[in-house]
Structure formats: C-alpha cells, structure tokens
Structure 1
Amino acid sequence: MTYTINLKLIKSKREKYGYTQQNMAEFLGLKTRADYFKRENGDTRFKTVELPVLSKKLHTPMKDFFTPRVDKIETDEARMIK
C-alpha cells in the first residue's frame, strides 16, 4: 500500500488558522509564496523535513497528513466485462 499527502487537509488547516501561503512559505524557509503554492497544489512534493514544521504550525499530527492510496488492479475478470 502506498500513501499520499492529503493536500486538502493541509490547505483547510492553513485556512482554519488564518495563515497565508506567504506565511507558510516563510515558516518552511521557502524563497517565495509560489514555492509553497506549488506544494499545496501538488505540483511539487513537500520535503520530508517540511512535514514536522507543517505538523507544528497546523496543530496536526504528522500521521494525519498521510492517506492510503489503493492502486487499481485490473483482473482478468474485469477485462472481460469491458
């Protein structure tokens, strides 16, 4: 099983606490707001060292950032139905 970062949760928590994308960029030590925007929108991945900072600032356990992703496995039976 693989896991993905729950970007919707991160965005909703950021908004709940009233942080701007610029604030988050500064917290994470990023150069620009656009660098944070790309992470929050999934264009760039959050780095492992950034997750503890997010956890602290968003008052959320790091484990809550991860959601399981189940890859679709096509079986022979499913192919015959098509």
Structure 2
Amino acid sequence: RRQSTSVDSGLRAIGGDYSQAAYGVGMEISIKLSREATSIDEDGAVHSAFQENLVLLLAEAYYGFVLGDAEAFVKFTGTPS
C-alpha cells in the first residue's frame, strides 16, 4: 500500500557516464530510539509508543550529489504504477 502523498513521476532509472558525477557524505547516519514518542499512521491515527509498548526509531543522514555534465546522463521513464 502506498504511504507517500507524492505523485509517481514515472522515472524508473538514470543512466550515463558516472565519471561526470560526484557524491559526498555530510554526516554519519545517526539513530535515535524513543519509547515515549508518538507516530501518525497513513490513516491519521495517532499511536503512543509508551501506551502500545513500542520503540520508535529516527534515522538521519545527509548526502550531496553533483553532476559535472548533465548531458552525460539520460532518464528512463515508464508508466506510473
């Protein structure tokens, strides 16, 4: 079941000369655990980790990506599902 509110653009892959691209890692992945936080599911119901005996995770990371020559890449698209 789709949980995202974004629309499928049809983009399926990007191909090209990856020597014309670079990426970097801005920070290590940080992970935080909470037994007191709340979450909201796709139906809008609020869940309390404490009341439901759950552990919620928050994982964060920062990455950068840059193209040297955008003409060195192509998009492969398909019918949105």
- Which bracket does the TM-score occupy, shorter chain normalised? under 0.3
* TM-score, with structure 2 as normaliser: 0.26
Greater share of residues in strand: 2
Which of these two proteins has the greater Rg computed from alpha carbons? 2
